[in-house]
Amino acid sequence: MPATNPLLSDWSTPFALPPFAAIADKDFAPAMEAALTEARANVAAIADNPAPPTFANTIEALELSGAILDRVAGVFYNLSGADSNPAREALQREFAPKLSAYSSEVVNNAALWARIDALWQGRDALGLTDEQARVLYLTRRSFVRAGAALVGTDRDRLTEVKGRLAVLGTQFTQNLLADERGWFMELTETDLEGLPDFVVAATRAAGVEKGAGGPVVTLSRSVIVPFLQFSPRRDLREKAYAAWTARGENGGDTDNRGIAAETLALRHERAALLGYDSFAAYKLETEMAGTPDAVRNLLMQVWEPAKAQAMADADALTAMMRADGINGDLQPWDWRYYSEKRRKALHDLDEAELKPYLQLDAMIDAAFDCANRLFGLEFAPLAVDLYHPDARAWEVTRDGAHVAVFIGDYFARGSKRSGAWCSAMRSQKKLGGDVRPIVVNVCNFAKGSPALLSYDDARTLFHEFGHALHQMLSDVTYDSISGTSVARDFVELPSQLYEHWLEVPEVLQKHARHAETGAAMPKALLDRLLAAQTYDMGFQTVEYVSSALVDLDFHDGAAPSDPMAAQAQTLARIGMPNAIRMRHATPHFAHVFSGDGYSSGYYSYMWSEVMDADAFAAFEEAGGAFDAETAKKLETFILSAGGSQEADTLYTAFRGRMPGVDALLKGRGLDKVA
């Protein structure tokens, strides 16, 4: 392999950032092959070491064995999610089975497994630190759960299953991106009538991005949701909504329904090979919830009051529709339109009035300012080459010392998958040197001059930055427990907790300033905004919880042969309101089918919300949102701790106890619903 491959060379860039300007798509395949070859050699050296196993020569060596592979994959998968192209999509399809095969080789290495198990059996005599003991426990557990203890045909079949699942997850993601990228609805100037200026601007910017020669509605949430909220054209709302909800089920090569069915069947087989009754039982064993019954109990405690609220709201919206002379039932493409009108009537709150106060740059500054007041972090812009002109970077410091590099990539584009996420191109660790992280937030906001956010967009920005803080403030020795390497139903605590600071009046008073005049948001508007925070919460909760229950039902028991029929059965059983759809229907449920991350785990946002409502109450009880002692405890026991202890242990260390569901219901305004 020529040393000139920039992915394999030493990086002399500032903070050892990837040299994006020097990296070409043709570099990834040879770099991945070289990285896999090196990783295999390193693992073989560990397994074949004639010396008796020690924590250093086995567990720590394993932690370091894939350093180059982590570096190459960190760059590639960040690019393939945020700025894909046909070449990168082809590489994803090529890499998925190769990486799965490598992972299975490691787990199936009998000599390596014997060393790990021997360390575990003799752990009491090793003199390990608490963190080392935790890493040994997690390493052995991950090997067992990946099939290391299997033999013969069962082991071989599990390897085949995992390889096929990796291929299916990649295909599901690419099909969804293709559907999102391929559809747009052209608008005439007449079609724009009745839309606020910011929505018109978003459709014009989307038209430029699509090369349409005029305004368009795309399937980007930052474009289609405002259109559904404000367009008086019911026919156009219906057409746009139909396309939005049909992603992944349009027939042809990009249809995801067959992929979902095969994925569920293979997951069930995987769990059975490992001795579990269901994939949900397997997956939830390592989460805070522990069992499918615990998850279902939480979701149903929230479902009934949420549904009651949503049904009452539906009656009110139907009456408004009747007043407009429209007969028939309230439809899903009507809800956001009439709900926006009702919000203005009830709270005198108009998003068109609100948006000029929520400039993207100002909300970034607000997130940074809160992090400074809470944790002493400083953010300085960096003039460095990045992977796309829309991306920008900051150096994060504290008391003059380097903490991290933070990259923000905020605007929607056709090459970016939908949604918002946080990832790390490099994670924090101390083993092998003090490695500081490179953390990336990716969002899909509409472009504008200036870019204006909805309040929900601003909340998303704070949410993802909460994940970023979990990565940036990580302070552990081992990569495997760094940052967000925690239980899935704990990982959303820092992100959802950070959203609360957007609701702090002094934060908005300082940073919510009018895009044209620079004036602070008037107190009356601020008060109305904060008073409306639980408005339409029945709708929001129903669309989320229904998705979480469908996900749970998919995996709790035998795999359904027809996922769409199974989805319909779950929705019928729980009494899904007719005018609300699941937030993520099966063919575009990327959380669940693009990989195993949130499979049986979409509930985790709500599990974490039980904690985040209670955690923010800790600040309020201590005297305010920026109480220094509480912030220090939050950093010590949660943000810096990674996966160094069990999640409930960490939370109890922070709060003194575990919370109940009451704080969540109160926070959503559902505590008094009949």
In this structure, what CATH number is given to the domain that contains residue 41? 1.20.1050.40
Asked if residue 352 has pLDDT above 90, the reply is no
First-to-final CA distance of the chain: 68
Mean pLDDT over 144-168 rounds to 96
Q: What is the pLDDT of residues 171-229, one digit of tens each?
A: 999 999 999 999 999 999 999 999 999 999 999 999 999 999 999 999 999 899 999 99
Closest by Cα among 245, 259, 243 to 182 = 243
Same domain? For 205 and 257 the reply is no
- For residue 450, cis peptide bond before it (omega within 30 degrees of 0): yes
* Nearest-5° Cα angle at 171, 168 to 176: 125
* Cross-strand partners of 411: 445
Same domain? For 340 and 282 the reply is yes
Please give the backbone phi and psi of residue 446, each rounded to the nearest 5 degrees, phi first: -75, 140
C-alpha to C-alpha distance for 396 and 242, rounded to whole angstroms:
43
Going by pLDDT thresholds of 50, 70 and 90, the confidence category of residue 378 is very high
In-domain check, residue 159: no
Domain-ending residue, one of 209, 224, 247: 247
Domain-ending residue, one of 585, 602, 619: 602
Asked if residue 674 has pLDDT above 80, the reply is no
pLDDT at 82: 96
Please give the backbone phi and psi of residue 3, each rounded to the nearest 5 degrees, phi first: -70, -5
Same domain? For 470 and 447 the reply is yes
pLDDT at 663: 82
pLDDT at 475: 98
Q: What is the pLDDT of residues 637-652, one digit of tens each?
A: 999 999 999 999 999 9
Asked if residue 244 has pLDDT above 80, the reply is yes
Domain-ending residue, one of 546, 578, 602: 602
**Pairing between strand 401-411 and 438-445?**
parallel
pTM of the model: 0.93
Asked if residue 664 has pLDDT above 90, the reply is no
Cβ 375 vs Cβ 367: under 8 Å: no
Same domain? For 478 and 576 the reply is no
Same domain? For 342 and 449 the reply is no
Same domain? For 644 and 658 the reply is yes
Mean pLDDT over 341-357 rounds to 92
In the chain, what are the helix, strand and coil shares in percent, each to the nearest 5?
60, 5, 30
Work out the widest C-alpha separation in the chain, in whole angstroms: 83
Going by pLDDT thresholds of 50, 70 and 90, the confidence category of residue 1 is very low
Same domain? For 375 and 494 the reply is yes
In-domain check, residue 172: no
Same domain? For 501 and 548 the reply is no
Same domain? For 587 and 614 the reply is no
Residue 514: give the domain boundaries. Answer: 356-531+605-667
Q: What six digits make up the tokens of 296?
A: 């279902």
Torsion sign, CA atoms 456, 654, 473, 67? negative
Active-site pick, 131, 464, 492, 635? 464
In-domain check, residue 156: no
In this structure, what CATH number is given to the domain that contains residue 581? 1.10.1370.10
Same domain? For 258 and 343 the reply is yes
**What rounded mean pLDDT belongs to the chain?**
95
Query: Residue 75 class from Cβ within 10 Å (0-12 exposed, 13-18 middle, 19+ buried)?
Result: buried
Same domain? For 388 and 521 the reply is yes
Closest by Cα among 205, 175, 13, 177 to 83 = 177
In-domain check, residue 160: no
The length of the chain is 674
Q: What is the pLDDT of residues 463-493, one digit of tens each?
A: 999 999 999 999 999 999 999 999 999 999 9
In-domain check, residue 163: no
In-domain check, residue 178: no
Q: Give how many domains the chain has, as a whole number.
A: 4
Going by pLDDT thresholds of 50, 70 and 90, the confidence category of residue 671 is confident
In-domain check, residue 135: yes
Q: What is the pLDDT of residues 393-424, one digit of tens each?
A: 999 999 999 999 999 999 999 899 889 999 99
Mean pLDDT over 528-552 rounds to 95
pLDDT at 4: 86
CA dist list (Å): 486 to 141, 215, 286, 289, 448: 14, 43, 10, 13, 37
In this structure, what CATH number is given to the domain that contains residue 611? 1.10.1370.40
* Nearest-5° Cα angle at 131, 127 to 137: 85
- Whether 238 is catalytic: no
Q: What is the DSSP string of 353-402?
A: HHGGG-BHHHHHHHHHHHHHHHH-EEEEEE----SSTT-EEEEEEETTEE
CA 59 vs. chain centroid, Å, equals: 29
In-domain check, residue 414: yes
Percent of the chain with pLDDT over 70: 99
Q: What is the pLDDT of residues 19-63, one digit of tens each?
A: 999 999 999 999 999 999 999 999 999 999 999 999 999 999 999
Same domain? For 514 and 494 the reply is yes
pLDDT at 672: 77
